[in-house]
Structure 1
Amino acid sequence: MNLRSEQWFNHKSFETRFQHASAMRACGHDPESYAGKPIIGIFNSWNDLNSCNAPHKELVEYVKKGVLAAGGYPIEMHTITTAADFNKPSDLPYRNLMSMDVEEMIRSLPLDGIVLLCECDKTTPAQLMGAASCDLPTLQFAAGHRSTAYFKGKPVNYGTDLWKYMDMYKAGELTDEEMKELEKGISCSFGGCPVMGTASTMKSVSEIMGMMLPGTSDIPATDSRRKIAAEQTGKRIVDMVKEELTPSKLMTEAAFHNAIKLLAALGGSTNAVLHLTAIAGRLGIRIDLKQYQELSDDVPLIVNLQPSGLYGMDDYFHAGGLSGVIYELLPRLDGDCLTALGKPLKEVYTKKSESPDIITSLEQPFKSESGIKVLKGNLAPSGAILKLSASSKKLWKHEGKAYVFDSYEAMLEEIDSDELDVDASTVLILRNCGPSALGMPEWGEIPIPTKLLKEGIDDMVRISDARMSGTSYGTAILHASPEAAVGGNIAIVQNGDIIEVDVEQGLLHLRLSDEIIEQRRQALTPFPQRYPRGFLKMFAEHVLQADEGCDLDFLRPHNKEEARFVPPIVGRS
């Protein structure tokens, strides 16, 4: 094997060799134990504020066991993490920061292969972005989803069910005491959200693109099979080093197209649009926003899974999980794309699900309409998106008066007022929440006003330049681009303006003349810079817009050749 780590440990300079061997001994690594073996960096992303990734505190030991069994040498290291529940103002900026952390540690250390321990929403894409920028043999391994809880004798899943109970509480259907009981029990184990939210979506995407071992993306966190899978991952990465099977050979343009089709079949998270675009961009592959629609036009929803359906991830796993879905979807996929085993999809995913009520078929889908619909018009010239499977078809062709919230704080102050001037036809707009304004938090599922909830209204058209949790649902039009903070036309909308939405025609229109639009644009004042220093200042100044994946402009190569990994010059540190 031509090991990259030999640049450190068999360097032509005796002084450099001596220094590195001595430094390894200081860390407890005997040169006789790792000499001539692939050194596998295991990047651990747990901390005590990220319950989703907490299982990796234990699982990492099983990955190490697999690496050792296969003849490699494991080195554990830690990166920052992205705890979606806690990172403020949003976890999206820290996706990019974490990707830089992963990339620079891979690039600068004596590593031959990489295992990335992921789970919570942004850790998975962050790691894939960093790995794509380095192109060393890499595998991801997830912590698994948390257990389904029970409330009032019924199963409840953190995420989708939480939003439903919140609406019931606001409508006066649940008491404070009942909500306290729900809060105590809805997160009843470590692990990611047990629905097809962003975490489950991105794990599925990672597996179909060959960055995670087949059959490992959907094992529950509490299932002992996840420990076995961790060991198998450790074994496999050593072989991938020998085979020189790198991310650029797995995450090809065809593989990204497969991932977009899978996104539709799963009813996956809208966040995946940002993440897939950003990961592909690191490899010099451009995904245009319209491809999310075009590639999934003939792909129905074949999974009856929250938030687009009824079941949770435990049910889905026992029904065959992602393996069963890919089997059904193969007629729409490029079956020659490689898995992490180095074998094509069509040879690996050969088992049909035996639970047709959870995993259906292309011929008899759960819902005929799925995927991401791209909407454009003078309100969002660069595009906005809608998750079809989670929206209300009755609202796909709609017009109504706008009611505008200039900030999240303003929305919170007004949304519960009985005096709010809205009805069921109103189009709610929330702005100044885009990537450069606030890091694009998950505020796009604007709450239904309390006065309307009490009238039985459970959905209405909502438009924002923000994101939405992958566990959420409703007719929420997201990622309006350009965002308000950079002068996008969503910034000029006023209360009472007529908004037209035609989902089938892909139209999002503000019914104003070009002259009035231009007058209002001329009257806009520059959006104030909220962050005077630090990474958030850097993010605001360099982030690309939503239609380009919200990566930082200086991290995106101009072409595939520029994206290839360049090893560091190794000498004395």
Structure 2
Amino acid sequence: MPAQLRSLSVTSAVRRAHWRALGLTDEDMLKPKIAVVNTSSELAVCYAHLDGVARVVKDAVRAAGGIPFEVRTTAPSDFITGAARMGSYILGARDLIPNDIEAQVEAALLDGMICLTSCDKTPPGHLMAAMRLDIPTLLVIGGYQASGEIEGDPVDIEDLFAGMVGDRFGKPGRHSLSDITANAVRGPGVCAGMATANTMHCVVEALGMCLPGSAPVRANSEKMFDSARRSGARIVEMVREDLRPRQIMTPSAFCNAAAMVQAVSGSINAIKHLQATAVEGGLDLDMFAVWEEKSNVPILSAVRPNGTVRIEQFEDAGGAAAMLRQLGDLIDGDALTCTGATIGQNIRDAQADEEIIRPRERPIAPGPAIAILKGSLAMDSAVVKLGIPDGKRPESFSGPAITFDSSADALAAISGGEVKPGHVVVLRGQGVKGGPAMGGGASTVLFAIDAAGLARDTAFITDGQLSGLCLKGLTIAEVSPEAAEGGAIGRVRDGDWIVIDVPTRRIDVDIDAEELASRPSLPTMDAVEAPGWLGIYRRDVRPQSAGAVLTVSK
């Protein structure tokens, strides 16, 4: 155990009186104080089961000789708390989480914390808090929701999202929207499939911040509860060992996480979330450069939306631990983890179903699943999700731009037939400074392009961000600098010739550099009004290429 628990550095009689009133004894006062960070919420099914998980964790902490204190934080869910202001609160809410944790856990000088992590923004929010506070921390994976069937045909949230847009454009899918709505989500937990939540759960395991074999996992399964019990015991040991997040989340760990995302063809959102976590830890790490270093990682599994494999099959095939084992020397096996052992030691006995999680010599595709582009249209960076080659998504494209300053205008143009084969659809004003950021506008436009039958014959470029469910055609997102910061995407005009070449990692607008620089950048006004917290976020947020974090003082 460290020389002295930091919670014991405060001997105030008032503090002891408050805790005594909660039932703590004099003996309890001397034990490690563990924050159980719970994002439980009745607003969204993603978090609806976490109170039960918290009870299991707290019992395990007590049994291991610690004292648990349950604290609550904000619980952002894209589909529920994305309702107002075009979803503008979604990404900003990620940055509320570490601040909320700091204001409770750090302010109280607790000795360690265990975070119940669930929907898309909670894993990065918890990792960011862990790096900032640098006290012993473990994440417990909350698991994915059960999905249903219609006439023997599995359906999940991806089918529902696609069905919503298809219905709007007169392109109904295999089943009615009402039937999909009734069957797509059948219990608590995060979206099924390798969208952002399950990607980030696998990232947590690759970073070494959860117990081995934790991700992905069925919500409310015995496996999930067993992990919660073991995590409750382990966090007390971590406090006694003084094992801290900055010892675990080293540059090697971030490289391992990038390799994981490439291998599962995960969500592009993992890049900025990892960058934000590195920033919070004071690491001089460029995750966009790391991503390119990991461009040699092959795609070893094809979980929806990348292929036909369902997340349940991926879990049963060995999950994240098996994937790490299959990656072999493409990861650093000497990276330390929350167990006190290395990741190589943790995965030594992991077994994979090699039809679901392929060996490196027999990959699904050579990769990369995700690439970073730069050029005159994206001087800092842009992200392209390539996924698994299917003959429909080209890696090179050139054509005239058709530009939109709002998702509503883009949807109207697609519906009205203004977007034609050969167009490069440019949607700007959607970034962290100028628009809804993580809102569903850009994702909806992309699904609309697909519903209109244009995905293979157009390209789509946006300075906004996309749902992890999005994999339609040649799509470039998170163009940085964004339009609201004077980026070139705001200077593109209808008819400008745009050239995308993924093999050379280029994205350019084919006009004279001086002419491009002389044009005013549009739009000049925020797409969405930003009062209150949104105003603070817009004012202080750093660019997407820096993780879209709030300004961090060293």
- The yes-or-no answer on 1:57 pairing with 2:81 is no
- The yes-or-no answer on 1:74 pairing with 2:65 is no
Q: In 2 relative to 1, CA 114–208 (structure 1 residues): closer, same or farther, beyond 3 Å?
A: same
The 5 A counterparts of 1:194-273 are 194-273=192-271
Match of 2:84 in 1: none
Shift of 1:80: 1.2
Shift of 1:162: 3.1
Deviations 1:190-247 (A, max 9, x none): 1011111111111111112121111112120031221111111100000000000000
- The yes-or-no answer on 1:427 pairing with 2:424 is yes
Asked if structure 2 preserves the Cα contact closer than 8 Å seen for 1:261 and 1:333, the reply is: yes
Q: In 2 relative to 1, CA 448–267 (structure 1 residues): closer, same or farther, beyond 3 Å?
A: closer
Asked if structure 1 preserves the Cα contact closer than 8 Å seen for 2:429 and 2:523, the reply is: no
Shift of 1:165: 3.4
Shift of 1:291: 1.8
Query: Partner letter of residue 479 of structure 1?
Result: E
Separation (CA, whole Å) in 2 of partners of 1:101 and 1:209: 23
Where 1:297 maps in the other structure, the secondary structure is helix
| Unaligned residue ranges in structure 1 (runs of 5+) | 558-573
The 5 A counterparts of 1:99-114 are 99-114=98-113
Query: Partner letter of residue 407 of structure 2?
Result: Y
Match of 2:273 in 1: 275
Shift of 1:452: 7.6
Match of 1:151 in 2: 150
Where 1:435 maps in the other structure, the secondary structure is coil
Q: In 2 relative to 1, CA 451–107 (structure 1 residues): closer, same or farther, beyond 3 Å?
A: closer
Query: Partner letter of residue 429 of structure 2?
Result: N
* Alignment partner of 1:19 out of 11, 14, 21: 14
The 5 A counterparts of 1:136-535 are 136-159=135-158, 161-166=159-164, 168-170=166-168, 172-174=170-172, 178-389=176-387, 394-417=393-416, 420-441=417-438, 442-445=440-443, 447=445, 453=451, 460-474=458-472, 475-521=474-520, 526-528=524-526, 531=529, 533-535=531-533
Asked if structure 2 preserves the Cα contact closer than 8 Å seen for 1:328 and 1:361, the reply is: yes
Match of 2:23 in 1: 29
Shift of 1:163: 4.0
Query: Partner letter of residue 94 of structure 1?
Result: A
Separation (CA, whole Å) in 1 of partners of 2:376 and 2:40: 43
Where 2:402 maps in the other structure, the secondary structure is strand
Separation (CA, whole Å) in 2 of partners of 1:243 and 1:449: 49
Asked if structure 2 preserves the Cα contact closer than 8 Å seen for 1:261 and 1:295, the reply is: no
Shift of 1:478: 0.5
Shift of 1:171: 5.9
The answer to which of 79-88 and 480-489 deviates more is 79-88
Shift of 1:489: 0.7
Q: In 2 relative to 1, CA 428–292 (structure 1 residues): closer, same or farther, beyond 3 Å?
A: farther
**TM-score, reference length from structure 2:** 0.93
Q: In 2 relative to 1, CA 525–313 (structure 1 residues): closer, same or farther, beyond 3 Å?
A: closer
Asked if structure 1 preserves the Cα contact closer than 8 Å seen for 2:35 and 2:114, the reply is: yes
Asked if structure 1 preserves the Cα contact closer than 8 Å seen for 2:155 and 2:180, the reply is: no
Deviations 1:427-450 (A, max 9, x none): 111110100112412444453686
Query: Partner letter of residue 14 of structure 2?
Result: Q
Separation (CA, whole Å) in 2 of partners of 1:531 and 1:451: 27
Q: In 2 relative to 1, CA 241–151 (structure 1 residues): closer, same or farther, beyond 3 Å?
A: same
Where 2:498 maps in the other structure, the secondary structure is strand
Query: Partner letter of residue 185 of structure 1?
Result: N
Shift of 1:45: 0.4
Separation (CA, whole Å) in 2 of partners of 1:242 and 1:144: 28
**TM-score, reference length from structure 1:** 0.90
Q: In 2 relative to 1, CA 305–449 (structure 1 residues): closer, same or farther, beyond 3 Å?
A: closer
Match of 1:566 in 2: none
Separation (CA, whole Å) in 2 of partners of 1:339 and 1:451: 43
Q: In 2 relative to 1, CA 64–289 (structure 1 residues): closer, same or farther, beyond 3 Å?
A: closer
Match of 1:6 in 2: 8
Separation (CA, whole Å) in 1 of partners of 2:482 and 2:425: 16
Shift of 1:179: 0.7
Query: Partner letter of residue 48 of structure 2?
Result: A
* Alignment partner of 2:79 out of 70, 74, 85: 85
Query: Partner letter of residue 234 of structure 2?
Result: R
Separation (CA, whole Å) in 1 of partners of 2:530 and 2:168: 37
Separation (CA, whole Å) in 2 of partners of 1:67 and 1:78: 17
Separation (CA, whole Å) in 2 of partners of 1:141 and 1:513: 52
Q: In 2 relative to 1, CA 547–473 (structure 1 residues): closer, same or farther, beyond 3 Å?
A: same
Q: In 2 relative to 1, CA 322–520 (structure 1 residues): closer, same or farther, beyond 3 Å?
A: same
Shift of 1:480: 0.4
Query: Partner letter of residue 188 of structure 2?
Result: F
Shift of 1:135: 0.5
Shift of 1:175: 7.7
Shift of 1:25: 2.5
Where 1:438 maps in the other structure, the secondary structure is coil
Separation (CA, whole Å) in 2 of partners of 1:514 and 1:62: 60
The answer to which of 377-386 and 344-353 deviates more is 344-353
RMSD (CA atoms): 2.2
Shift of 1:143: 1.2
Separation (CA, whole Å) in 2 of partners of 1:168 and 1:391: 23
Asked if structure 2 preserves the Cα contact closer than 8 Å seen for 1:131 and 1:138, the reply is: yes
Separation (CA, whole Å) in 2 of partners of 1:243 and 1:51: 36
- The yes-or-no answer on 1:44 pairing with 2:38 is yes
Separation (CA, whole Å) in 1 of partners of 2:192 and 2:49: 15
| Unaligned residue ranges in structure 2 (runs of 5+) | 82-86
Q: In 2 relative to 1, CA 509–30 (structure 1 residues): closer, same or farther, beyond 3 Å?
A: same
Query: Partner letter of residue 402 of structure 2?
Result: Y
Match of 1:538 in 2: 536
Asked if structure 2 preserves the Cα contact closer than 8 Å seen for 1:444 and 1:463, the reply is: no
Q: In 2 relative to 1, CA 463–450 (structure 1 residues): closer, same or farther, beyond 3 Å?
A: closer
Where 1:52 maps in the other structure, the secondary structure is helix
Separation (CA, whole Å) in 1 of partners of 2:514 and 2:151: 57
Asked if structure 2 preserves the Cα contact closer than 8 Å seen for 1:292 and 1:372, the reply is: no
Deviations 1:542-566 (A, max 9, x none): 111111100011x253xxxxxxxxx
Query: Partner letter of residue 513 of structure 2?
Result: D
Asked if structure 2 preserves the Cα contact closer than 8 Å seen for 1:260 and 1:295, the reply is: no
Where 1:61 maps in the other structure, the secondary structure is helix
Separation (CA, whole Å) in 2 of partners of 1:202 and 1:304: 16
Q: In 2 relative to 1, CA 288–367 (structure 1 residues): closer, same or farther, beyond 3 Å?
A: same
